[in-house]
Amino acid sequence: MLEAFIPWAHIDWQLQLELLIWLGVIFLSMVLCYIRLRQIAASEQDNQKPVN
């Protein structure tokens, strides 16, 4: 019944959880990369500002 609506319902929930963690870590690494790159860019800009 459930499979009519959710195509992957026949897969063990533990298996689904493992896949979710996997995809979540990829997403997390992208977010961390984005945040850190922005921090590095901001600090580089600060360093380039003339000192009064």
Partner 1 sequence: MDALTLSLASLLLVSLAIGAYSSRSIKDTRDYYSAAGRMPWYMLVGTFMASNVSAGLFLGATNASAQNGYAMWAAYFPTCIGYLLCIGFVAIWIRRLSDRYEIMDLSDLFYHRFRRQGKLIRSVSSIIIVFAYLPVLIAQFIALASIISVLLDVSYAGSLLAISLVVVSYTLLGGMLGVIRADGVQFIILLVGLLVAVPMALSAAGEGEVNVGWQRISRLPEIFEWTTPGLPWFAVLGQLVWLFAIPVQPHLVSRFLAARTERDIVISLPICVGLTLFIYTATIPLGLAGRILEPDLESGAYYYVVMAVNHFPVLVGALALAGIASAALSTCSTVLLIAGQTVSRQVLQRLPMPGWFTPMYGARAGVLMVGVATWLIAAIQPLGIFWLVVLSASLLASGFFVPLFLGMLWRRASAEGAVAAMLTGTLSAVTVYLVNGLFGTHLFISEVFAGLAMSLIIMVVISFKSPASEQEMAVLDYARKLPAALESRPYPG
Give me the residues that bind partner 1 (CB under 8 A), please: 10-12, 14-15, 18-19, 21-23, 25-26, 28-30, 32-33, 36-37, 40
Beta carbon of residue 50, minimum distance to partner 1 (angstroms, whole number): 21
User: Measured from the CB atom, is 33 or 51 closer to partner 1?
Assistant: 33
Q: Least distance (Å) from partner 1 to the CB of residue 9? A: 10
Pseudo-torsion of CA 16, 22, 23, 26, nearest 10°? 180
Q: Which residues have a Cβ under 8 Å from the Cβ of 25 and sit 6 or more positions away?
A: none
What phi and psi values does residue 9 have, to the nearest 5 degrees? -65, -25
